[in-house]
């Protein structure tokens, strides 16, 4: 079947060969040819995990618990996806369908009740909603989105899921650092990106707008967004920068640029993941040698179960 599917862009495949060890490359390539299982999590702002699981299993859904995140499940039979979106649990906002990789960043950021937290590029709101649940709707969670259509989708999702403590702002995230300097205990920046980790040979539209030039243009915006996020972070605070891109231009090189600009005022902290389909950040890309700290970042590899993802965790030690 894979032989008759349309091929991914050659420049992208060449980049994969540079990033992924030979013994893992075939599995990564194969992940772009399969439909990933549907995953979701229980919205604990509205319901208990056990009661929702019992309700769905009584309705005939075959659920596989995710061993590293209580309250997250995958459908053992992916043909049940549409039926899942027609359940009362879905319509009531008691569950939220979300790729497993997308759940990782909020878990690593670990926002606490009563903190002041920022989600700098929030739509459609999956990570915002998870953070609201982790904070038990207590504290302040600010969600920023620059695109009007996506902003209203974000607001609708927050309302449906009962995330009442979230304040939403339709504004360019690149301006937040100057408007709200050192205001937040924790910041999440899931930056707009080339979405390389979500390419699918089953859907050629998923890479229709990709090009090396587009990656470069996106990286320029990401650099300014991360700088804004760092200015908005309190000294001592924690920031997660992540993308669903695989290109180091959008990942390690963005983090490297901030380390070069701010020096030892910020630090990359190690990231630990509860599964093995990931690689440490690269410290050499082309002719560019990067700050050794970027090796502490991680690139989740696309697999049959998960989308790829890049995650870095930064600590701000002092004002700048």
Which residues are marked as active site? Answer: 244
- Residue 55 near residue 89 (C-beta atoms within 8 A): yes
CA atoms 302, 305, 306, 307: torsion sign: positive
Q: Which residue has the tokens 């030892």?
A: 264
If we measure between CA atoms, which residue out of 273, 277, 270 comes closest to residue 293? 270
Query: What are 276's two structure tokens?
Result: 């093995």
- Residue 188 near residue 106 (C-beta atoms within 8 A): yes
- Residue 141 near residue 128 (C-beta atoms within 8 A): yes
DSSP 8-state class, residue 174: G
What is the helix (H) or strand (E) element at residue 96, kind and residue range? strand 95-97
Beta strands 233-243 and 184-190 are: parallel
């Amino acid at each position: 079947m894979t032989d008759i599917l349309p091929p991914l862009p050659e420049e992208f495949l060449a980049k994969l060969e540079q990033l992924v060890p030979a013994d893992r490359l075939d599995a990564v390539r194969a992940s772009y040819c399969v439909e990933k299982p549907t995953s979701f999590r229980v919205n604990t702002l509205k319901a208990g995990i056990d009661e929702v699981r019992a309700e769905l299993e009584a309705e005939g859904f075959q659920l596989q618990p995710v061993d590293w995140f209580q309250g997250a499940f995958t459908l053992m039979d992916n043909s049940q996806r549409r039926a899942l979106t027609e359940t009362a649990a879905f319509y009531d906002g008691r569950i939220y369908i979300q790729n497993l990789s997308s759940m990782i960043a909020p878990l690593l950021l670990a926002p606490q009740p009563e903190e002041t937290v920022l989600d700098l590029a929030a739509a459609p709101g999956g990570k915002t909603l998870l953070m609201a649940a982790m904070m038990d709707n207590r504290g302040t969670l600010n969600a920023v989105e620059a695109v009007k259509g996506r902003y209203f989708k974000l607001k609708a999702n927050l309302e449906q899921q009962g995330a009442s403590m979230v304040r939403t702002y339709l504004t360019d995230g690149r301006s937040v650092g100057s408007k709200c300097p050192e205001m937040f205990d924790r910041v999440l920046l899931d930056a707009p990106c080339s979405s390389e980790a979500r390419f699918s040979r089953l859907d050629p539209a998923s890479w229709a707008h990709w090009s090396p030039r587009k990656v470069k243009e996106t990286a320029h915006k990401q650099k300014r967004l991360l700088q804004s996020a760092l200015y908005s972070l309190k000294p001592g605070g924690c920031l997660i920068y992540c993308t669903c891109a695989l290109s180091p231009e959008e990942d390690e090189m963005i983090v490297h640029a901030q380390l070069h600009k701010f020096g030892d005022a910020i630090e990359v902290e190690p990231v630990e993941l509860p599964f093995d389909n990931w690689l440490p950040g690269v410290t050499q890309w082309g002719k560019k040698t990067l700050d050794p700290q970027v090796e502490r970042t991680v690139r989740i590899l696309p697999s049959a179960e998960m989308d790829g993802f890049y995650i870095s965790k930064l600590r701000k030690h002092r004002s700048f």
